[in-house]
Each structure stands twice: as C-alpha cells, then as structure tokens.
Chain A
C-alpha cells in the first residue's frame, strides 16, 4: 500500500543568516526536533516532530527560529478538515484512542464573549477604587439557614430551619475558607504537573491569600507547610489519601468529575510513576496509576453523603468538604443532590476545563459550557431554597478578569483557574501535556526539563497575574457602583446578552442588551 506522508502540524523555519549553530535549540528541545550536523556545521530541524510549543523560538539567542503552522498536506474540504483527516490517519496507523491535553479547543460558543457588564451613569454614581476601599474577600462553605441572638450567652448561634426535613447533624457552623480574592488554583496533580509548578502555585496561593488544589496526586511531603492554603482531593483512585493528608489541608474536595473528561477516569502511565511520584501517591513505582471512572463506593447521592461524612468524621468536622463535578446536561439536579448530601461547596468544571491527558473525542464532545452550568445550578439551588447550604465554585477556561466577574454575577462564589495559571508560567497551549515532554518544565517529570521552571519566578508571575486581575475586578466593580464582590454575586441584572437566542438568555437568566431594568 502507498504510504501516507508523515504528519506535520508545524514548520520550523530557520534563518540561516542568523543561525550561529550554537546548538542551544538542539539541547533544549525535548521532542528532538533539532540536530547538529558537524560536517556542514549546520543545525537541521525535523518539522514533523515539532509540537508547536515555541520554546526554542523564545530562547534562540539570535532569533533565528520561527515556528509556523504547516500548510495543509491534505485535500481539505468543508466537511473534512485537516484535523479530521490527520486524526483518522493516526488511528489507522496505531489502532489507539487519541489523547490530548488542555481544554476543548473546538469553536463552541464562548458565552463570556456574548455577555456584557453594566456600569453606572449619573443616577447611581460609580465608585473610584483608587480612593475607596473595595472588598474582594470571599468565604467558601456552608452558611447556616438563619442566625439567632441568644441573650443569655451573648453569642450568635447558627440554627437550621426548624421545618427543614433534611438534617445535617454535623454542619451547623463550619469553618469557612477565607479567600482574599475570588480566584483559586484548580486541581492539578503532582504527576501531571512538575514539582516546581506545584511549588509555584502553593507559594502564590499563600502570598495572595487564596488556595491551590493538589488534584488526585497526593501532597508532596515538602508541601505540607502550605496546608493552610491547600485543598486536597479525594478521587476514585484514593491516591495519597491518608490521615495526615486530610488533616493538613484547609478543605477536602471529592473529585467526581472533570470538565475535560466527564464520566471517565484517568490513567497516569507507569513510566511517569517515578520514585517521588510513587511516594506522594503512595503507589508502587512504575505501575499505572489508574483512577476508575466512578468511585467504587459511590453509586448514589446517599453513598456520596456517606463519603462526605466519612471525611468530616476523619477530620472532626473542622474543615469544609466539597465535591467537584463536571458540567453535564443534568448538572442542576446533580448539584442539588450534592448539596443535599452535605457538600460545603460544589465545584463545577465546564466543557473548556483543562486536563493533563484525556481522550480527544471526550474532551471535545462531552459536557456543557460553564456559563450555562453556573446559571442553571445557581437558579436551581435558589429555587429549592438551599443556595446558602453550599458555595458554588466555577471552573473551566477562565481567560481573564472579565470572565471571572461575569461568572460571579451569574451566581458563582468564586472561580478556579488552571490553564490561565499555566499560561502565566510559560505554557503555550501546545496540548501535548500527556507526553511528559513539556519544554516549559510544567507538565513533565524529566529533571532536565523541570529545572526550566524557576519556582521563585513562577510564584512571582502567578502573584502578578492575580494582582492584575484583582485590580481589574475592582475597577469593573467600582464602575458598576458596587464596593464589595459579595454584592455582585448572583446579581444578573448587571449582565446583558448580545447575539444570544431567547433560550440561551432564559437559561443564563439575563436580559438582552438594550433591555432596561
């Protein structure tokens, strides 16, 4: 049979007049794109190996390298695009499931780009955040149904509704998570990301006064000192889950689903389970780390409740226990069940949420956008009168401060960011996280590569990002005449839709641009 040409997504262009054959690119590329030929004293590039991470381009001392998208080698048409044909060819050659990294990159609507924020004019003056205090502080956790002043003891006490048929004997008053800004770092496991990336996230979280999340990879012993700013995950593989891990964290998150791969589990391949990862996950070295799709002790809301309270019991009701689910079609009733099961927060991860590795077809075709999920869940919990019982954390592809503030106005208490954080650390969204060859030292365990991410600089860049976003959020809040993020939460009158259908506006619970109050 005639052989197909080798797939080539990118072209490496080398300006020979600039290249001094210093071979820096040869040494730096983990994909072995570049090679030096001593006979000609020239550096050659094999474009077929290039993943388009732009690392060599960024660090070439003479700026001789330029990475470009390859012009299609296939006879494309409107139905059969390059990616369709290329993926099909890969599968015909290997018979395997296609893997990918990061979030869905298909052109589904990004509702953030169809939602506009309000601002004050004349009647309700805007607030100048440079002159006046602006409050971004956010608390995460279960709120009591009512507060009551007891004269005898002179203390506030929180009570359940007397009429409430659902009893949470343990959760009348919880310690809440205190966030200085309504942004946290979403779950990424040690294993999927490097140690230096974990350190950068943990330090930045501490410096800013927010939280990072271990994902399901356990907590490295050296990172226990960040416990006050750490949320630990309990996932279906129960990797690294033990008494001290639960004890050290400020909150525990049961991972049910992930936006990039709703309904499926995860496989960390055995070759990535090195000594340090094995110790952190508490699993044998070199064997696959398999996270089954479901928790095998959870087949119902009642079972979920059982695990929530097993974790609360193990930590003496001292910290919030949340549940992370993927945004799927039935997300609102599922979230309602999760809250009724006793979760102190529900984290919802949307269609565009990232991943270290997921089957391409799952990432790109399963789930719903986070915007619709936030609105649907917030509406449902309000209708049922249980919105106070749990905080709502939104995740899945937040790109900037405007996305964040719109999410909060739709009804989220706070957001999780991960892809944005990695981009701040250098990531170029090449989507090859699953190969373990990340040139930026983020999604790799190769010590030669991980050293490229300096955790001091990484921390600073993350702190910068969060500082910049919080300044922008304050500006936007002030413009709306609001001086506390708490007053914007679920305040959908501050949002208007453009280019949306009536159905989409109804689900988002917002008016069309041009409609007044």
Chain B
C-alpha cells in the first residue's frame, strides 16, 4: 500500500498507518514524507514500512514489531523507548537514537548525533542493538543498562565524541578505531574485543552489512575497542546509610 504523505499532518498520517497495520496490511510505502513526527509510534504489528523522505522526531517511539526502512535522513528521537522491530536508516540520524530502547534493532548508515543509545537496556530475551555506520557525538551509551551499541565511524577520523558510557551499568559499546581514555565516561572501562563479544557483534555487523550492501568481511576483531561497565552498581557506594 502506497501513501502519498505530501502536506499531510502527522496525526492523519499516523492514524492511516495504524488503520492499515491494524487490518493486517503487511507492507506500507510512505512517499513525500517531510518532517511528520511519530511515524509508527506505538504500533504493535509486523508490518514493513518504507519511508521516502525525512521523517520527523520520535520515529518508531514505543513501537513493538514493525520493520521500518528510511530512504533518507532521520531527525531526533528515532526509536524512543521502542520494544521491538527494526529501523534501518539509509542516511544520518539526529540526537538520542534509541533512547531507553529495550528491544529491536536500529541501523543507521550515516552519522548520528548526541546521546545515542542513552539508557538502553536489555530484559529477559529482549536485547536491543544499535549500529551507527558513521560517527556519534558526546554521551553515547550514557546510563546504558544493556544491549549492544556499535559505532563504525566510517568517513570520520574520530568515531565517537566524549563522555562515552557515562553512568553505564550494563551492555557493551564497540567502537571501530581508537578511543582515548579522556573520551570515556567515569563508569566505563576499555577492553579489547574478546571472543565472546565478537561472537555477539559480528552476526549483527553481518546483518547490518546485508541491509546496506556492505562487506562484513572488511571488519575484524582487532579493529574494535570495546567499552564495558565497571560495575552493575555504579552508584552503590554513594550513600551513608
């Protein structure tokens, strides 16, 4: 089903998408998207949604199931608090990609902004994944409590900003290239990519490369710096009684 969203208000557009996914529509193509917010917000269905243009903030917020492909760039809040499904962006994304995300996958081909993967968390069999092909800005993986955040840094000599993993208490962050000590937040520590982490990251890279027609074999373990939480209880010793 193709919807031409040119000039359409986000509320009307999203209601249309909800009606379609609710009645079992498996594939929706949105054309002429130009800043409409909240696309696929809170949708719990397995529909494939292709977006042509630039969706607005909070794309896929609270969503649980849809597979979204964006042929363009994204704005802020992509995958905010999402529980499941996937978002693949063939361009750049703004700030707070995957804020508090607890399941599903977000793959960004280009760069992303500040606070990527902030407060993402895993839970039982839910294990969220974010892969950013380009660079990320400061505070990536802040308060991270689970899941996997991979930064490939393509086309940028400095893959990540500063304060990476501040307050981190779960999950792993894998950055291709070098991360200086001063770039780390106080609650993260640097590791090499061990066998176990690579076994977790490589299949995801493979999937990522499949989506964007890249070659996963160009990645090897020794290219990555892995950041892990120092403890699961970062602030456990702050209190007197």
Residues of A within 8 A of B15 (CB): 316
- Asked if A498 CB lies within 8 Å of chain B CBs, one says no
Residues of B within 8 A of A279 (CB): 124
- One of A36-44, A234-242, A338-346 at the interface: A234-242
Pick from A269, A286, A314, A435 the residue with the most CB of B within 10 Å.
A314
Q: Are A297 and B241 in contact (CB under 8 A)?
A: no
- Asked if A399 CB lies within 8 Å of chain B CBs, one says no
- Asked if A333 CB lies within 8 Å of chain B CBs, one says no
- Asked if A355 CB lies within 8 Å of chain B CBs, one says no
Whether A90 touches B123, Cβ cut-off 8 Å, given contacts A246-B42, A316-B18, is no
- Asked if B113 CB lies within 8 Å of chain A CBs, one says no
Whether A282 touches B77, Cβ cut-off 8 Å, given contacts A97-B238, A97-B239, is no
Q: In the bound complex, how far is the Cα of B119 from the Cα of A237, in angstroms?
A: 7
**Interface bracket on B:** 35 or more
Query: What's the minimum C-beta distance from A434 to chain B, rounded to whole angstroms?
Result: 8
Q: Is the interface of B mostly helix, strand, loop or mixed?
A: loop
- Asked if A243 CB lies within 8 Å of chain B CBs, one says yes
Cβ < 8 Å to B, chain A residues 228-286 = 236-238, 241-243, 246, 267, 269-270, 278-279, 282-284, 286
Give the number of residues in A that approach B within 8 Å (Cβ atoms): 42
- Asked if A185 CB lies within 8 Å of chain B CBs, one says no
Query: What's the minimum C-beta distance from A429 to chain B, rounded to whole angstroms?
Result: 17
Query: What's the minimum C-beta distance from A476 to chain B, rounded to whole angstroms?
Result: 42
Q: Are A296 and B41 in contact (CB under 8 A)?
A: no
Q: Are B11 and A94 in contact (CB under 8 A)?
A: no
Residues of B within 8 A of A170 (CB): 11
- Tell me the nearest residue of chain A to B139, going by C-beta: A296
Pick from A91, A278, A286, A316 the residue with the most CB of B within 10 Å.
A316
Residues of A within 8 A of B118 (CB): 296
- Asked if A169 CB lies within 8 Å of chain B CBs, one says yes
Query: What's the minimum C-beta distance from A72 to chain B, rounded to whole angstroms?
Result: 19
Q: Are B240 and A91 in contact (CB under 8 A)?
A: yes
Cβ < 8 Å to A, chain B residues 221-239 = 232-239
Q: Are A306 and B57 in contact (CB under 8 A)?
A: yes
Q: Are A243 and B44 in contact (CB under 8 A)?
A: yes
- Asked if B142 CB lies within 8 Å of chain A CBs, one says yes
Contact of B143 among A246, A278, A290 (CB under 8 A): A290
Q: Are A282 and B240 in contact (CB under 8 A)?
A: no
Contact of A310 among B64, B80, B237 (CB under 8 A): B80
Residues of A within 8 A of B57 (CB): 306
Whether A310 touches B238, Cβ cut-off 8 Å, given contacts A169-B11, A242-B83, A243-B64, is no
Convert B134-154 into 0s and 1s, putting 1 for each residue whose CB lies closer than 8 angstroms to a CB of A. Answer: 000000001101100000000
Whether A288 touches B235, Cβ cut-off 8 Å, given contacts A99-B240, A242-B64, A283-B121, is yes
- One of B95-103, B175-183, B212-220 at the interface: B95-103
Complex A-B, nearest 4 residue pairs according to Cβ-Cβ distance, in ascending order:
A314-B42, A96-B240, A238-B100, A94-B240
Task: List 23 A-B residue pairs with CB atoms under 8 Å apart, sorted by A's residue number.
Answer: A94-B240, A95-B240, A99-B241, A237-B100, A241-B100, A242-B62, A242-B81, A243-B62, A246-B62, A282-B123, A284-B170, A284-B232, A287-B232, A288-B169, A288-B233, A288-B235, A290-B235, A296-B118, A310-B41, A313-B10, A313-B38, A314-B38, A315-B42
Beyond the given pairs A288-B236, A306-B58, A310-B38, 6 more chain A to chain B contacts, judged by CB atoms under 8 angstroms and listed by A's residue number, are A169-B11, A270-B232, A287-B170, A290-B234, A292-B167, A314-B61
